[in-house]
């Protein structure tokens, strides 16, 4: 049990070092352009989320309309 715990801690430290290295490389090589990339990715993600929610809302409204007509 103790060996598994040590292994988990080592893997956690390695994962955190990898994440830190990737973050450093991202900001080092992109510089000020990193914020533009973040902004663009956020706008695209929000647009996709909006489209998905509009489709879901449309489906829910059509289901509610068909149920109200059945009554």
E strand segments, 19-67: none
d(CA 50, CA 19): 29
The pTM for the full model equals 0.61
10-46 residue pLDDT tens: 999 999 999 999 999 999 999 999 999 999 999 999 9
């Amino acid at each position: 049990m103790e060996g598994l715990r040590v292994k988990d801690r080592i893997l956690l430290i390695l994962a955190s070092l990898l994440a830190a290295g990737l973050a450093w490389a991202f900001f080092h090589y992109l510089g000020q352009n990193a914020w533009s990339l973040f902004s663009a990715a956020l706008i695209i993600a929000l647009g996709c989320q909006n489209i998905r929610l509009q489709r879901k809302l449309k489906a829910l409204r059509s289901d509610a309309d068909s149920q109200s007509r059945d009554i």
